[in-house]
Amino acid sequence: MSSSNPPENTLTNALRDTLKGLHANPYPEVENPVGCKRRASVALILRVRPGYEAEPLKIGENDPGVSTIESLDRFFSQGWVQRGDPECVFIKRAARVGDRWTSHVALPGGKRVDKEDEDDKAVAVRETSEEIGLDLNSPHALFIGNLPERVVSTSFGRQPIMVLCPFVWLWTGSELPAFKLQPTEVASTHWVPLRVLLSPSARTHEYVDVSDRFAHRGSAFLKTIIRSILGKMRFSAIQLTPSESLYCSSTAEFFSPAEDQPPTPKGSLTSRFYNWYLGDHAGAAGHGRPLLLWGLTLGMLADFLDQLPPYNAVQLWSYPTFTSWDVRFIIDILTIPLKRRNQARLRNSGMKNETVIDSEVEAVSADNPWFIGGLSKGMEASKKGKNATRSYAVGILLEDYYAMARRGVWISAGARAVATILFVWYIVKRYRRRVLR
Protein backbone atom coordinates (compact mmCIF):
# COMPACT_ATOMS: atom_id res chain seq x y z
CA MET A 1 0.00 0.00 0.00
CA SER A 2 1.35 3.43 -0.97
CA SER A 3 1.99 6.16 1.53
CA SER A 4 -0.27 9.21 1.65
CA ASN A 5 2.85 11.37 1.64
CA PRO A 6 4.94 10.34 -1.38
CA PRO A 7 8.66 11.15 -1.45
CA GLU A 8 9.58 14.36 -3.19
CA ASN A 9 10.38 13.93 -6.89
CA THR A 10 12.99 16.53 -7.82
CA LEU A 11 12.41 16.35 -11.59
CA THR A 12 8.63 16.39 -11.24
CA ASN A 13 8.69 19.41 -8.96
CA ALA A 14 11.16 21.18 -11.25
CA LEU A 15 8.83 20.49 -14.16
CA ARG A 16 5.96 22.02 -12.20
CA ASP A 17 7.97 25.17 -11.51
CA THR A 18 9.12 25.41 -15.12
CA LEU A 19 5.58 25.11 -16.46
CA LYS A 20 4.37 27.75 -14.01
CA GLY A 21 7.17 30.03 -15.19
CA LEU A 22 6.31 29.48 -18.86
CA HIS A 23 2.68 30.29 -18.18
CA ALA A 24 3.44 33.40 -16.13
CA ASN A 25 6.06 34.75 -18.59
CA PRO A 26 4.93 34.15 -22.18
CA TYR A 27 7.34 34.86 -25.00
CA PRO A 28 6.36 37.62 -27.45
CA GLU A 29 4.89 36.90 -30.86
CA VAL A 30 7.38 37.22 -33.72
CA GLU A 31 5.99 38.99 -36.76
CA ASN A 32 6.62 37.75 -40.28
CA PRO A 33 9.50 39.42 -42.12
CA VAL A 34 8.72 41.41 -45.25
CA GLY A 35 7.91 39.04 -48.10
CA CYS A 36 7.40 36.01 -45.86
CA LYS A 37 3.80 35.05 -45.07
CA ARG A 38 4.16 31.44 -43.94
CA ARG A 39 3.84 30.43 -40.28
CA ALA A 40 4.01 27.00 -38.65
CA SER A 41 3.30 25.70 -35.16
CA VAL A 42 4.33 22.62 -33.17
CA ALA A 43 3.10 21.11 -29.90
CA LEU A 44 5.32 20.00 -27.03
CA ILE A 45 2.98 17.61 -25.20
CA LEU A 46 3.95 16.47 -21.71
CA ARG A 47 2.47 13.83 -19.45
CA VAL A 48 3.36 11.93 -16.29
CA ARG A 49 3.43 8.16 -16.64
CA PRO A 50 2.02 6.52 -13.49
CA GLY A 51 4.19 4.04 -11.65
CA TYR A 52 3.32 0.39 -11.21
CA GLU A 53 1.52 1.02 -7.92
CA ALA A 54 -0.20 4.22 -9.02
CA GLU A 55 -3.00 5.55 -6.89
CA PRO A 56 -6.46 6.01 -8.40
CA LEU A 57 -6.79 9.24 -10.34
CA LYS A 58 -8.16 12.03 -8.15
CA ILE A 59 -7.91 15.02 -10.47
CA GLY A 60 -8.07 14.60 -14.22
CA GLU A 61 -10.24 17.07 -16.05
CA ASN A 62 -9.28 20.71 -15.69
CA ASP A 63 -11.82 22.98 -14.02
CA PRO A 64 -12.45 26.01 -16.28
CA GLY A 65 -13.00 28.12 -13.18
CA VAL A 66 -9.54 27.35 -11.80
CA SER A 67 -6.43 29.23 -12.93
CA THR A 68 -3.66 27.43 -14.77
CA ILE A 69 -1.25 27.98 -11.88
CA GLU A 70 -3.71 26.46 -9.42
CA SER A 71 -4.42 23.58 -11.80
CA LEU A 72 -0.69 22.85 -11.97
CA ASP A 73 -0.37 22.89 -8.18
CA ARG A 74 -3.34 20.54 -7.79
CA PHE A 75 -2.06 18.17 -10.50
CA PHE A 76 1.50 17.92 -9.17
CA SER A 77 0.32 17.50 -5.58
CA GLN A 78 -1.15 14.08 -6.38
CA GLY A 79 0.71 11.02 -5.13
CA TRP A 80 0.63 9.17 -8.47
CA VAL A 81 2.16 12.23 -10.17
CA GLN A 82 4.95 12.53 -7.57
CA ARG A 83 5.76 8.84 -8.08
CA GLY A 84 5.41 9.05 -11.86
CA ASP A 85 7.82 9.62 -14.72
CA PRO A 86 7.45 12.88 -16.77
CA GLU A 87 7.54 12.31 -20.52
CA CYS A 88 7.02 14.10 -23.83
CA VAL A 89 5.94 12.72 -27.19
CA PHE A 90 7.79 12.86 -30.51
CA ILE A 91 6.78 11.79 -33.99
CA LYS A 92 8.97 10.23 -36.64
CA ARG A 93 7.94 11.67 -39.96
CA ALA A 94 6.99 9.34 -42.78
CA ALA A 95 9.59 8.75 -45.50
CA ARG A 96 8.79 10.86 -48.53
CA VAL A 97 10.89 11.45 -51.66
CA GLY A 98 11.97 15.06 -51.99
CA ASP A 99 11.05 15.98 -48.41
CA ARG A 100 14.04 17.53 -46.61
CA TRP A 101 12.56 16.47 -43.27
CA THR A 102 11.81 12.90 -44.33
CA SER A 103 12.08 10.38 -41.46
CA HIS A 104 13.18 13.10 -39.01
CA VAL A 105 12.20 13.03 -35.35
CA ALA A 106 9.99 16.03 -34.66
CA LEU A 107 7.12 17.45 -32.63
CA PRO A 108 3.54 17.23 -33.93
CA GLY A 109 2.69 20.30 -35.97
CA GLY A 110 2.56 21.92 -39.37
CA LYS A 111 1.83 25.00 -41.46
CA ARG A 112 -0.82 27.58 -40.79
CA VAL A 113 -3.82 27.77 -43.13
CA ASP A 114 -5.39 31.20 -42.79
CA LYS A 115 -8.86 30.05 -43.86
CA GLU A 116 -8.96 27.35 -41.19
CA ASP A 117 -6.81 28.57 -38.29
CA GLU A 118 -7.75 31.34 -35.91
CA ASP A 119 -4.20 31.81 -34.62
CA ASP A 120 -0.84 30.03 -34.25
CA LYS A 121 -2.03 28.03 -31.26
CA ALA A 122 -4.98 26.75 -33.29
CA VAL A 123 -2.51 25.45 -35.88
CA ALA A 124 -0.79 23.26 -33.29
CA VAL A 125 -4.17 21.98 -32.07
CA ARG A 126 -5.38 21.13 -35.58
CA GLU A 127 -2.14 19.56 -36.76
CA THR A 128 -1.82 17.42 -33.64
CA SER A 129 -5.34 16.12 -34.15
CA GLU A 130 -4.68 15.39 -37.84
CA GLU A 131 -1.26 13.79 -37.38
CA ILE A 132 -1.69 11.66 -34.26
CA GLY A 133 -5.39 11.92 -33.38
CA LEU A 134 -4.93 13.66 -30.01
CA ASP A 135 -7.48 16.37 -29.15
CA LEU A 136 -5.72 19.23 -27.38
CA ASN A 137 -9.11 20.85 -26.72
CA SER A 138 -9.84 17.97 -24.34
CA PRO A 139 -10.52 18.90 -20.69
CA HIS A 140 -7.50 16.71 -19.87
CA ALA A 141 -5.17 18.90 -21.98
CA LEU A 142 -3.93 21.87 -19.95
CA PHE A 143 -2.49 24.63 -22.14
CA ILE A 144 0.67 26.05 -20.53
CA GLY A 145 2.08 28.65 -22.91
CA ASN A 146 4.74 29.02 -25.58
CA LEU A 147 8.46 28.60 -26.14
CA PRO A 148 10.51 31.20 -28.10
CA GLU A 149 9.26 31.76 -31.64
CA ARG A 150 11.81 32.12 -34.42
CA VAL A 151 12.18 33.10 -38.06
CA VAL A 152 13.77 30.43 -40.26
CA SER A 153 15.18 30.78 -43.76
CA THR A 154 16.77 28.64 -46.44
CA SER A 155 20.29 27.32 -45.83
CA PHE A 156 23.11 29.69 -46.79
CA GLY A 157 20.62 32.40 -47.72
CA ARG A 158 18.73 35.34 -46.35
CA GLN A 159 15.34 34.41 -47.79
CA PRO A 160 12.96 33.74 -44.87
CA ILE A 161 10.56 30.85 -45.35
CA MET A 162 8.46 30.80 -42.17
CA VAL A 163 7.97 31.77 -38.55
CA LEU A 164 7.98 28.74 -36.23
CA CYS A 165 5.86 28.82 -33.07
CA PRO A 166 6.21 26.11 -30.35
CA PHE A 167 3.42 25.68 -27.77
CA VAL A 168 3.31 23.56 -24.60
CA TRP A 169 0.51 21.36 -23.20
CA LEU A 170 0.33 19.10 -20.15
CA TRP A 171 -1.94 16.03 -20.21
CA THR A 172 -3.43 15.82 -16.72
CA GLY A 173 -5.06 12.39 -16.93
CA SER A 174 -3.39 9.18 -15.86
CA GLU A 175 -4.49 7.54 -19.11
CA LEU A 176 -4.28 8.70 -22.69
CA PRO A 177 -6.64 7.90 -25.60
CA ALA A 178 -5.18 5.73 -28.35
CA PHE A 179 -3.34 7.63 -31.07
CA LYS A 180 -4.50 7.47 -34.69
CA LEU A 181 -1.50 8.11 -36.96
CA GLN A 182 -1.83 9.80 -40.35
CA PRO A 183 0.08 7.43 -42.73
CA THR A 184 1.20 10.14 -45.16
CA GLU A 185 2.69 12.25 -42.37
CA VAL A 186 3.71 10.07 -39.42
CA ALA A 187 5.57 6.76 -39.36
CA SER A 188 5.55 6.38 -35.56
CA THR A 189 5.12 8.15 -32.22
CA HIS A 190 7.41 7.80 -29.23
CA TRP A 191 6.93 8.81 -25.58
CA VAL A 192 10.35 9.60 -24.12
CA PRO A 193 11.04 10.27 -20.41
CA LEU A 194 12.50 13.68 -19.66
CA ARG A 195 15.24 11.98 -17.64
CA VAL A 196 16.44 10.39 -20.90
CA LEU A 197 16.59 13.77 -22.62
CA LEU A 198 18.58 15.15 -19.69
CA SER A 199 21.01 12.24 -19.36
CA PRO A 200 24.63 12.62 -20.52
CA SER A 201 24.65 8.96 -21.62
CA ALA A 202 21.97 9.71 -24.24
CA ARG A 203 24.07 12.37 -25.96
CA THR A 204 25.43 11.45 -29.38
CA HIS A 205 25.81 12.97 -32.87
CA GLU A 206 23.98 13.09 -36.18
CA TYR A 207 25.96 13.08 -39.43
CA VAL A 208 24.68 15.10 -42.41
CA ASP A 209 25.92 15.43 -45.99
CA VAL A 210 26.21 19.20 -46.60
CA SER A 211 27.97 19.10 -49.99
CA ASP A 212 24.84 20.39 -51.74
CA ARG A 213 24.92 23.49 -49.54
CA PHE A 214 28.41 24.36 -50.77
CA ALA A 215 27.54 23.54 -54.40
CA HIS A 216 23.79 24.10 -54.58
CA ARG A 217 23.78 24.26 -58.39
CA GLY A 218 26.95 22.31 -58.97
CA SER A 219 27.37 19.00 -60.73
CA ALA A 220 27.44 15.63 -59.04
CA PHE A 221 31.20 15.53 -59.65
CA LEU A 222 31.71 18.83 -57.80
CA LYS A 223 29.59 17.65 -54.89
CA THR A 224 31.63 14.43 -54.75
CA ILE A 225 34.84 16.43 -54.54
CA ILE A 226 33.44 18.61 -51.74
CA ARG A 227 32.16 15.53 -49.91
CA SER A 228 35.59 13.89 -50.13
CA ILE A 229 37.12 16.99 -48.54
CA LEU A 230 34.59 17.65 -45.81
CA GLY A 231 33.21 14.21 -45.06
CA LYS A 232 29.93 14.78 -43.27
CA MET A 233 28.91 17.48 -40.85
CA ARG A 234 28.45 16.34 -37.27
CA PHE A 235 25.71 17.84 -35.08
CA SER A 236 24.82 17.33 -31.44
CA ALA A 237 21.97 14.87 -30.96
CA ILE A 238 20.13 12.91 -28.30
CA GLN A 239 19.52 9.20 -28.81
CA LEU A 240 15.94 8.63 -27.71
CA THR A 241 14.93 5.65 -25.59
CA PRO A 242 11.13 5.55 -25.67
CA SER A 243 8.99 4.14 -22.90
CA GLU A 244 6.18 3.56 -25.39
CA SER A 245 6.07 3.56 -29.19
CA LEU A 246 3.31 3.25 -31.77
CA TYR A 247 4.02 2.44 -35.40
CA CYS A 248 1.84 3.13 -38.43
CA SER A 249 1.74 -0.31 -40.04
CA SER A 250 0.43 1.01 -43.35
CA THR A 251 3.59 2.99 -44.13
CA ALA A 252 6.18 1.52 -46.48
CA GLU A 253 8.99 1.67 -43.93
CA PHE A 254 7.06 -0.33 -41.31
CA PHE A 255 7.91 -3.64 -43.02
CA SER A 256 9.73 -3.99 -46.29
CA PRO A 257 10.08 -7.37 -48.05
CA ALA A 258 13.59 -6.27 -48.97
CA GLU A 259 14.56 -6.71 -45.34
CA ASP A 260 13.98 -10.45 -45.71
CA GLN A 261 16.69 -10.70 -48.37
CA PRO A 262 20.23 -11.81 -47.50
CA PRO A 263 22.51 -8.92 -46.55
CA THR A 264 24.44 -7.41 -49.43
CA PRO A 265 28.23 -7.63 -49.48
CA LYS A 266 30.00 -4.85 -47.64
CA GLY A 267 32.06 -3.96 -50.69
CA SER A 268 35.77 -3.64 -51.22
CA LEU A 269 38.21 -2.51 -48.60
CA THR A 270 38.58 0.80 -50.46
CA SER A 271 34.84 1.51 -50.50
CA ARG A 272 34.50 0.58 -46.82
CA PHE A 273 37.40 2.90 -45.92
CA TYR A 274 35.81 5.69 -47.97
CA ASN A 275 32.47 5.25 -46.19
CA TRP A 276 34.22 5.25 -42.82
CA TYR A 277 36.11 8.38 -43.81
CA LEU A 278 32.85 10.20 -44.72
CA GLY A 279 31.20 9.18 -41.49
CA ASP A 280 28.71 6.85 -43.22
CA HIS A 281 29.32 4.36 -40.43
CA ALA A 282 26.97 6.52 -38.31
CA GLY A 283 24.23 6.74 -40.92
CA ALA A 284 22.61 3.33 -40.97
CA ALA A 285 19.09 3.33 -42.41
CA GLY A 286 15.89 1.46 -41.66
CA HIS A 287 14.82 -0.09 -38.37
CA GLY A 288 18.45 -0.44 -37.27
CA ARG A 289 18.92 3.32 -37.21
CA PRO A 290 18.52 4.85 -33.73
CA LEU A 291 15.97 7.56 -33.02
CA LEU A 292 17.97 10.77 -32.94
CA LEU A 293 16.71 14.15 -31.80
CA TRP A 294 18.77 16.93 -33.38
CA GLY A 295 18.63 20.14 -35.38
CA LEU A 296 15.51 22.26 -35.30
CA THR A 297 13.59 20.10 -32.82
CA LEU A 298 16.55 19.80 -30.47
CA GLY A 299 16.94 23.57 -30.63
CA MET A 300 13.38 24.07 -29.48
CA LEU A 301 13.74 21.45 -26.75
CA ALA A 302 16.98 23.10 -25.57
CA ASP A 303 14.98 26.17 -24.64
CA PHE A 304 12.97 23.91 -22.34
CA LEU A 305 15.47 21.33 -21.08
CA ASP A 306 17.95 23.86 -19.75
CA GLN A 307 15.36 24.85 -17.13
CA LEU A 308 15.29 21.35 -15.61
CA PRO A 309 17.82 19.66 -13.28
CA PRO A 310 20.71 19.10 -13.45
CA TYR A 311 20.62 22.33 -15.53
CA ASN A 312 23.55 21.24 -17.68
CA ALA A 313 21.89 20.76 -21.07
CA VAL A 314 24.25 23.30 -22.62
CA GLN A 315 27.34 21.69 -21.07
CA LEU A 316 26.42 18.42 -22.79
CA TRP A 317 26.16 20.16 -26.15
CA SER A 318 29.11 20.09 -28.58
CA TYR A 319 30.09 22.35 -31.47
CA PRO A 320 29.11 21.31 -35.01
CA THR A 321 32.11 20.10 -37.00
CA PHE A 322 33.10 17.72 -39.81
CA THR A 323 34.16 14.08 -39.92
CA SER A 324 37.31 14.74 -41.98
CA TRP A 325 40.07 14.85 -39.40
CA ASP A 326 42.11 17.63 -41.05
CA VAL A 327 39.08 19.91 -41.51
CA ARG A 328 38.06 19.27 -37.92
CA PHE A 329 41.60 19.95 -36.66
CA ILE A 330 41.91 23.28 -38.49
CA ILE A 331 38.47 24.45 -37.29
CA ASP A 332 39.37 23.51 -33.72
CA ILE A 333 42.59 25.54 -33.91
CA LEU A 334 40.89 28.56 -35.48
CA THR A 335 38.04 28.64 -32.97
CA ILE A 336 39.96 28.26 -29.69
CA PRO A 337 39.93 32.02 -28.87
CA LEU A 338 36.33 32.34 -30.03
CA LYS A 339 35.16 29.47 -27.84
CA ARG A 340 36.91 30.89 -24.80
CA ARG A 341 35.33 34.29 -25.41
CA ASN A 342 31.84 32.88 -25.85
CA GLN A 343 32.15 30.65 -22.80
CA ALA A 344 33.11 33.70 -20.76
CA ARG A 345 30.07 35.54 -22.10
CA LEU A 346 27.89 32.59 -21.20
CA ARG A 347 29.19 32.59 -17.63
CA ASN A 348 28.23 36.24 -17.35
CA SER A 349 24.76 35.37 -18.69
CA GLY A 350 22.07 37.83 -19.69
CA MET A 351 23.46 38.16 -23.21
CA LYS A 352 21.71 38.17 -26.58
CA ASN A 353 18.66 35.98 -27.10
CA GLU A 354 19.72 33.34 -29.60
CA THR A 355 19.04 29.65 -30.11
CA VAL A 356 20.38 26.91 -32.35
CA ILE A 357 18.08 25.41 -34.96
CA ASP A 358 18.20 22.98 -37.85
CA SER A 359 20.94 22.20 -40.35
CA GLU A 360 18.24 22.46 -42.98
CA VAL A 361 17.17 25.98 -42.04
CA GLU A 362 18.76 29.02 -40.50
CA ALA A 363 17.47 32.13 -38.84
CA VAL A 364 17.59 35.45 -40.65
CA SER A 365 20.64 37.43 -39.62
CA ALA A 366 21.73 40.65 -41.29
CA ASP A 367 25.26 40.59 -39.90
CA ASN A 368 26.17 36.95 -40.55
CA PRO A 369 24.23 35.20 -43.35
CA TRP A 370 26.67 32.32 -43.90
CA PHE A 371 25.47 29.78 -41.38
CA ILE A 372 26.02 26.06 -41.82
CA GLY A 373 23.88 24.73 -39.00
CA GLY A 374 21.63 27.70 -38.30
CA LEU A 375 21.40 30.31 -35.57
CA SER A 376 18.36 32.32 -34.54
CA LYS A 377 19.06 35.96 -33.79
CA GLY A 378 17.21 39.16 -33.13
CA MET A 379 14.21 37.75 -31.26
CA GLU A 380 13.90 39.61 -27.97
CA ALA A 381 12.10 37.68 -25.25
CA SER A 382 10.20 39.07 -22.31
CA LYS A 383 12.52 40.50 -19.66
CA LYS A 384 10.37 39.02 -16.91
CA GLY A 385 11.18 35.68 -15.30
CA LYS A 386 14.10 33.30 -15.59
CA ASN A 387 13.40 32.36 -19.23
CA ALA A 388 14.83 35.61 -20.53
CA THR A 389 18.34 34.69 -19.35
CA ARG A 390 18.38 30.89 -19.60
CA SER A 391 16.83 30.02 -22.96
CA TYR A 392 19.55 30.94 -25.44
CA ALA A 393 22.87 29.68 -24.11
CA VAL A 394 23.68 27.63 -27.22
CA GLY A 395 23.32 30.75 -29.33
CA ILE A 396 25.86 32.58 -27.17
CA LEU A 397 28.32 29.72 -27.65
CA LEU A 398 27.78 29.80 -31.43
CA GLU A 399 28.38 33.52 -31.79
CA ASP A 400 30.62 33.95 -34.91
CA TYR A 401 31.43 30.21 -34.87
CA TYR A 402 30.03 29.36 -38.29
CA ALA A 403 31.91 32.16 -40.03
CA MET A 404 35.15 30.81 -38.54
CA ALA A 405 34.22 27.22 -39.40
CA ARG A 406 33.57 28.21 -42.99
CA ARG A 407 37.01 29.83 -43.11
CA GLY A 408 38.50 26.60 -41.80
CA VAL A 409 36.79 24.65 -44.59
CA TRP A 410 38.42 26.80 -47.27
CA ILE A 411 41.81 26.65 -45.56
CA SER A 412 41.55 22.86 -45.46
CA ALA A 413 40.54 22.73 -49.12
CA GLY A 414 43.48 24.96 -50.06
CA ALA A 415 45.90 22.88 -48.01
CA ARG A 416 44.71 19.71 -49.71
CA ALA A 417 45.04 21.30 -53.14
CA VAL A 418 48.63 22.36 -52.40
CA ALA A 419 49.44 18.93 -50.97
CA THR A 420 47.99 17.23 -54.07
CA ILE A 421 49.99 19.45 -56.42
CA LEU A 422 53.22 18.79 -54.52
CA PHE A 423 52.55 15.07 -54.50
CA VAL A 424 51.91 14.98 -58.25
CA TRP A 425 55.01 17.10 -58.88
CA TYR A 426 57.09 14.68 -56.76
CA ILE A 427 55.78 11.63 -58.63
CA VAL A 428 56.38 13.23 -62.03
CA LYS A 429 59.89 14.25 -60.98
CA ARG A 430 60.78 10.73 -59.85
CA TYR A 431 59.33 9.26 -63.05
CA ARG A 432 61.45 11.56 -65.22
CA ARG A 433 64.60 10.63 -63.29
CA ARG A 434 63.93 6.95 -63.91
CA VAL A 435 63.35 7.56 -67.62
CA LEU A 436 66.57 9.56 -67.95
CA ARG A 437 68.51 6.70 -66.39
Comparing CA positions, the residue from 299, 267, 293, 76 lying closest to residue 166 is 299
pLDDT digits (tens, 9 = 90+) for 223-236: 677 777 778 889 99
Whether residue 337 is contained in a domain is answered as no
SS3 string, the chain, reads: CCCCCCCCCHHHHHHHHHHHHHHHCCCCCCCCCCCCCCEEEEEEEEEEECCCCCCCCCCCCCCCCCCHHHHHHHHHCCHHHHCCEEEEEEEEECCCCCCCCCCCEECCEEECCCCCCCCHHHHHHHHHHHHHCCCCCCCCEEEEEECCCEEEEECCCCCEEEEEEEEEEEECCCCCCCCCCCCCCEEEEEEEEHHHHCCHHHEEEEEECCHHHHCCCCCHHHHHHHHHHHCCEEEEEEECCCCEEEECCCCCCCCCHHHHCCCCCCCCHHHHHHHHHHCHHHCCCHHHCCCEEEHHHHHHHHHHHCCCCCCCCCCCCCCCEECCHHHHHHHHHHCHHHHHHHHHHHHHCCCCCCEECCCCEECCCCCCCCCCCCEECCCCCCCCCCHHHHCCHHHHHCCCHHHHHHHHHHHHHHHHHHHHHHHHHHHHHHHHHHHHC
- Say what the pLDDT of residue 224 is: 75
> What percentage of residues in the chain have a pLDDT greater than 70?
72
- Say what the pLDDT of residue 398 is: 74
Whether residue 264 is contained in a domain is answered as no
pLDDT digits (tens, 9 = 90+) for 399-408: 788 788 888 8
pLDDT digits (tens, 9 = 90+) for 364-382: 332 332 222 333 332 333 3
- Say what the pLDDT of residue 74 is: 95
> Phi and psi (nearest 5°) for 105?
-80, 130
Q: What is the mean pLDDT of residues 379-399?
A: 49
- Say what the pLDDT of residue 244 is: 96
The 10 Å CB-count burial string (b at 16+, else e) for 330-356 is bbeeebeebeeebeebbeeeeeebbbb
| Tally of domains within the chain | 1
- Say what the pLDDT of residue 60 is: 56
Whether residue 278 is contained in a domain is answered as no
> What percentage of residues in the chain have a pLDDT greater than 90?
37
Please state which of the ranges 211-220, 283-292, 364-373, 388-397 shows the lowest mean pLDDT: 364-373
Structure pTM? 0.79
- Read off the pLDDT band of 355 (50, 70, 90): very low
Whether residue 111 is contained in a domain is answered as yes
pLDDT digits (tens, 9 = 90+) for 130-142: 999 999 999 999 9
- Read off the pLDDT band of 61 (50, 70, 90): low
The interaxial angle of helices 401-436 and 325-334, nearest 10 deg, is 130
Whether residue 226 is contained in a domain is answered as yes
pLDDT digits (tens, 9 = 90+) for 247-299: 998 877 777 665 555 555 555 666 565 555 554 433 444 456 789 999 888 88
Mean pLDDT of the chain: 78
- CATH number for position 118: 3.90.79.10
Q: Which residue has the higher pLDDT, 3 or 244?
A: 244
Asked if residue 420 has pLDDT above 80, the reply is yes
Domain that holds residue 174: 10-55+67-254+285-327
pLDDT digits (tens, 9 = 90+) for 141-175: 999 999 888 877 665 445 788 899 999 999 999 88
Q: Quick one: 273 exposed, middle or buried, by C-beta within 10 A (0-12, 13-18, 19+)?
A: exposed
Interior angle at CA 186, CA 180 and CA 187, nearest 5: 100
Give the whole-angstrom CA distance, residue 277 versus residue 65: 61
